[in-house]
């Protein structure tokens, strides 16, 4: 792969790159390369498809057989489990539901790892667990990169995910061609765990922004003005955001088909709250946001898109 930024000091994170930076040499890095993909949920399926479109030979595994059968029908190769994935691929992407699932899969991978393996965790995993897993994988002579994503299923399908990565400079460089097949903005944030810290920050902003948009549109409706017209009126001003654009539309239309589930948002906010406590700071708005999403789940809406927070305020 063509090396970038040769004058950057050793160990320094790469600046942000985009898919437009991908060269023909980068594309060749994925041509027929065996890439393992474990976890084929709402996000994992389109991410695996984009890797395949870039030329990678996908070896797939997932807890549920349905998605494996679906993607096998598209030419991807099923594996019996994580150990077989590691035996057949030198790069392994994890897109799993939570820290417990990542730890379980990592344990299943561990004996099969060999020097030169690259494991990339693209889910949202606790920072402390991430750093321990990275250390254990490096002890095997392999590399671990934490690379959580933002953008939801829309960006996953379009290959325009925002990817925030933690790990060594060398590991990030190895992972970059894979990232460029799945994402649009890719940033090497720092050492192991730094990508997950960035994702915690992202999730705090997302949750609080969803709450702000939900309350604003609920206020409009309660005051007798059409929420969709209010959304149209304020777009393009200081209130403009992707949350107002996408989730605001979901609130207006009442379509809460999950892109990012309420229960996933709760899991992420609990991890952010735990990180804040470990870091010695208090984030009161984060705590309130978590309580609101938990109330939403308690009323039976945990499987809906997290924009369904609007339902707390408008019946």
Residue positions annotated with a catalytic role: 199
- 184: phi > 0 → left, psi -120 to 50 → alpha, else beta; which? alpha
CB 184 within 8 A of CB 47: no
Tokens standing for 169? 């400079």
CB 161 within 8 A of CB 183: yes
By CB atoms closer than 10 A (0-12, 13-18, 19+), residue 64 is exposed
CA atoms in the 13 A half-sphere facing the CB of 47: 36
d(CA 276, CA 267) in angstroms, rounded, equals 14
């Amino acid at each position: 792969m063509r090396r970038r930024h040769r004058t950057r000091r050793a160990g320094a994170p790469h600046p942000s790159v985009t898919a437009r930076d991908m060269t023909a040499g980068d594309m060749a890095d994925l041509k027929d390369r065996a890439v393992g993909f474990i976890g084929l949920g709402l996000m994992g399926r389109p991410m695996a498809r984009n890797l395949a479109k870039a030329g990678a030979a996908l070896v797939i595994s997932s807890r549920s057989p349905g998605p494996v059968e679906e993607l096998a029908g598209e030419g991807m190769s099923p594996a019996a489990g994580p150990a077989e994935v590691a035996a057949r691929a030198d790069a392994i992407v994890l897109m799993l539901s939570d820290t417990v699932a990542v730890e379980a899969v990592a344990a299943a991978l561990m004996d099969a790892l060999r020097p030169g393996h690259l494991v990339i965790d693209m889910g949202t995993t606790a920072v402390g667990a991430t750093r321990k897993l990275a250390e254990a994988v490096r002890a095997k002579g392999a590399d671990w990169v934490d690379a959580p994503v933002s953008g939801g299923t829309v960006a996953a399908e379009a290959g325009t995910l925002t990817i925030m990565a933690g790990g060594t400079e060398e590991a990030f460089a190895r992972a970059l061609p894979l990232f460029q097949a799945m994402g649009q903005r890719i940033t090497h944030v720092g050492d192991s765990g730094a990508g997950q810290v960035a994702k915690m920050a992202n999730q705090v902003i997302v949750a609080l922004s969803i709450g702000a948009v939900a309350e604003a549109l609920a206020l409009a409706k309660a005051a007798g003005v059409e929420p969709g017209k209010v959304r149209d009126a304020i777009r393009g001003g200081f209130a403009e955001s992707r949350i107002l654009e996408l989730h605001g539309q979901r609130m207006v239309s009442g379509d809460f088909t999950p892109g990012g589930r309420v229960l996933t948002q709760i899991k992420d906010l609990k991890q952010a709250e735990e990180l804040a406590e470990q870091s010695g700071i208090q984030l009161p708005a984060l705590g309130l946001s978590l309580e609101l999403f938990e109330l939403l789940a308690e009323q039976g809406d945990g499987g809906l898109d997290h924009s369904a927070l609007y339902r707390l305020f408008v019946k």
